[in-house]
Structure 1
């Protein structure tokens, strides 16, 4: 089917190239409409006697997402990675697999990418070769060919339609019933914590699960770069950063949003990911009355998370001493929740650690128990 569809596609492209472009007496809209009609006629002529699956495959290549349609419809696939027109990878159950389908040509790949960027309201240029955005149920990350030295590269990470709960995670053997009791106690006692783990370890799923433990009358202000976290109730709200590559609009970063959130009467502040100088303002907010707040951080384990947090705070307060930074962490945070994957690639709970004391060489951690 793939070979037959590609042959038909090549014939269609040959006929399209022969179409006259000098419609001088027509307006731009009329010329576009006429061209669309002629393309449709060519497409119909070449596919009308083909099998239905070949017709469908050619049409999605011409008009939709081509080889990405099938993995986009499969909700068990959590990420789609496109390295080039002929190199597509999918993540399923924590493991990468090569997608057997591919784009028919560099042209159809570029056209598909243009359609995705148009719908995501983002684009890349030579001056700004990277972009991020939201596309349907996915988080889009795009890198131009100028930086890859080959084709443009993009990935689509799926936002879960139904937010995770700890009961769902327990059913998948992510954690034990004893662990569920620990998480419930952390939320009820309004402890501050970070969910840490490597990329793809499920930090956002765990964050959504914690939010599902909240009552309807607690107001949460969620701060994110791209919208991934589901609000727990109607009293809550979300603040998203803004980055304009063209420089027309001023950028709004997470540091500004943390400061703004303090004026919005939050019961808890939730940071989608602590990744820069906003770490200082976030922890200061936690230390001055917003108990029960939490966020995520990229790190392999709890000890590495605290070291990375020290570095991020230094970005926002380079004049502070290391002892002052560690004191702020010790005053602000109560727990570090670690997520990860086992040898088979399955996501799992790696442990919870309590910040118990500030020692001369750093903060002492111990396994959390209730």
Structure 2
């Protein structure tokens, strides 16, 4: 290492040391200020108005000045304002998580202990600069999250699912199960949900695929959205659900309510965990069974994971066509295998062929969606379920994404194209008044339409 490199290394190291020292000083000041605020001020944390918050902010600013004077510390105006903001977040928000929750570009927040906080921002995972003081601080914020909904988390019950006031989904797991410290995962609730036009502009699918899916939903096709974790299944399900006519009764069933249907006649059902005595649990399966007694025109299940798959298939086969759900799987074929496995978990002694016949008659379309390394999400295939051939469920792809590599910025290149096969359910769609121009299924290189073709 030459002399210039040594000097540069020394300067970088000194800068990092100074930054770390400054951060520790601000954390110490922030803790002292927060303690004084708790001791000296009577703060209304329940639904404060703007005037109350402004008054509290001014009082905190005064206390910050007093603490700095007593400790003979000098901080810049910006640093003082940061301390005021952090204390306000501790009082009214969720501490260090508050600015992350306020950032519209962030879709997920992952707390892996007090010092390792990651976020998904515009589809990419990055490490955040915010941190908690220690495990106790994380546990305090966890209590702030779960207290309003009557949940608890401790060594005897170290895992919990919860929901923030804005609808964001939260999973919490603490030691001894979480070895890195208390862990929080937040899937943020979109205040302004994506539309189909948004997904087209993102390149998730193209106009012809959108036209076909819109007609399929309105034409009462049973559809499964298949994909991996974080692939955008719930977002896609929400968009497809928006095509259900407003004169139909819709029952939605979810573990944590995320769907944001805009129709007038929607009944939203949500599972319930067991209480502290281990009683009172109500799962997806019980809700699916109960929904059949509620005179639904459509049933929308956020995700099938277990034995409820059998009840969902039976509902689809007994007059509740046009139902929608999602499943964790990497290919359309895998999604059917997953459904078969889940039906076996129901305890019903059914032969494999009988299960596959149920699946083949209940499911009409599979939409396979995936998240790529560049953060983009794309529909890989729209696949039609044709029926049984021997002991095998037969499938045919209607549309698919063909990747052409990556551009100079590392973004996925490719295009969505039809396979040239006209789906077999086109006649069923016609009976529901959905007439499609079959040219959208022809493999042409360019058509140039800018609006839905109906």
* Structures share fold, TM-score greater than 0.5: yes
3-state SS of 1:147 partner? coil
* Paired position in structure 2 for 1:293: 323
Contact 1:227 1:240 in 2 (8 A): yes
Task: Specify whether residues 264 and 105 from structure 1 end up closer, same or farther in structure 2 by C-alpha distance, changes over 3 A only.
Answer: same
3-state SS of 2:142 partner? helix
Q: Computing the radius of gyration over CA atoms, which structure comes out larger, 1 or 2?
A: 2
Task: Specify whether residues 15 and 70 from structure 1 end up closer, same or farther in structure 2 by C-alpha distance, changes over 3 A only.
Answer: closer
- Kindly report which structure 2 residues correspond to 1:341-360, keeping only aligned pairs within 5 A, or say none: 341-360=371-390
- Distance in structure 1 (CA, Å) of the matches to 2:227 and 2:353: 25
- Distance in structure 2 (CA, Å) of the matches to 1:359 and 1:33: 71
* Paired position in structure 1 for 2:255: 225
Q: Does 1:59 align with 2:87?
A: yes
* Paired position in structure 1 for 2:28: 10
- Distance in structure 2 (CA, Å) of the matches to 1:360 and 1:271: 30
* Paired position in structure 2 for 1:161: 191
Task: Specify whether residues 159 and 47 from structure 1 end up closer, same or farther in structure 2 by C-alpha distance, changes over 3 A only.
Answer: farther
How far 1:109 sits from its partner (Å)?
A: 2.6
* Paired position in structure 2 for 1:334: 364
Picking from 17, 22, 45, the partner of 2:66 is 45
* Paired position in structure 1 for 2:436: none
Task: Specify whether residues 54 and 239 from structure 1 end up closer, same or farther in structure 2 by C-alpha distance, changes over 3 A only.
Answer: closer
- Distance in structure 1 (CA, Å) of the matches to 2:34 and 2:295: 59
How far 1:110 sits from its partner (Å)?
A: 2.7
How far 1:47 sits from its partner (Å)?
A: 5.3
After the TM superposition, which of the residue ranges 73-82 and 230-239 deviates more from structure 2? Answer: 230-239
- Distance in structure 2 (CA, Å) of the matches to 1:131 and 1:36: 33
- Distance in structure 2 (CA, Å) of the matches to 1:216 and 1:362: 37
- Distance in structure 2 (CA, Å) of the matches to 1:343 and 1:58: 34
* Paired position in structure 1 for 2:112: 83
Q: Does 1:203 align with 2:233?
A: yes
**CA displacement 1:21-49 (0-9 Å, x = unmatched):** xxxxxxxxxxx985756997966632587
After the TM superposition, which of the residue ranges 337-346 and 203-212 deviates more from structure 2? Answer: 337-346
After the TM superposition, which of the residue ranges 202-211 and 40-49 deviates more from structure 2? Answer: 40-49
Unaligned runs of 5+ in 1: 20-31
- Distance in structure 2 (CA, Å) of the matches to 1:165 and 1:59: 37
Runs of 4+ in 1 over 4 A off after TM superposition: 11-17, 32-44, 47-50
Task: Specify whether residues 123 and 136 from structure 1 end up closer, same or farther in structure 2 by C-alpha distance, changes over 3 A only.
Answer: same
* Paired position in structure 1 for 2:214: 184
How far 1:189 sits from its partner (Å)?
A: 2.0
- Distance in structure 2 (CA, Å) of the matches to 1:248 and 1:186: 42
- Distance in structure 2 (CA, Å) of the matches to 1:15 and 1:91: 32
Contact 1:5 1:55 in 2 (8 A): no
TM-score (normalised: structure 1): 0.88
Picking from 267, 270, 288, the partner of 1:237 is 267
* Paired position in structure 1 for 2:350: 320
3-state SS of 1:78 partner? strand
3-state SS of 2:177 partner? helix
- Distance in structure 1 (CA, Å) of the matches to 2:390 and 2:294: 38
How far 1:230 sits from its partner (Å)?
A: 1.1
Unaligned runs of 5+ in 2: 1-18, 44-58, 399-421, 424-454
- Distance in structure 1 (CA, Å) of the matches to 2:177 and 2:143: 18
- Kindly report which structure 2 residues correspond to 1:106-145, keeping only aligned pairs within 5 A, or say none: 106-137=135-166, 138-145=168-175
Contact 1:192 1:335 in 2 (8 A): yes
3-state SS of 1:56 partner? helix
Task: Specify whether residues 269 and 84 from structure 1 end up closer, same or farther in structure 2 by C-alpha distance, changes over 3 A only.
Answer: same
After the TM superposition, which of the residue ranges 323-332 and 339-348 deviates more from structure 2? Answer: 339-348
Contact 1:8 1:46 in 2 (8 A): no
Task: Specify whether residues 16 and 191 from structure 1 end up closer, same or farther in structure 2 by C-alpha distance, changes over 3 A only.
Answer: closer
3-state SS of 2:244 partner? coil
**CA displacement 1:204-237 (0-9 Å, x = unmatched):** 1111111111221111100011010012312111
- Distance in structure 2 (CA, Å) of the matches to 1:219 and 1:159: 24
Q: Which has the higher contact order (CA 8 A, sep 6+)?
A: 1
How far 1:10 sits from its partner (Å)?
A: 2.1
Contact 2:29 2:68 in 1 (8 A): no
How far 1:187 sits from its partner (Å)?
A: 1.4
After the TM superposition, which of the residue ranges 232-241 and 64-73 deviates more from structure 2? Answer: 64-73
3-state SS of 1:148 partner? coil
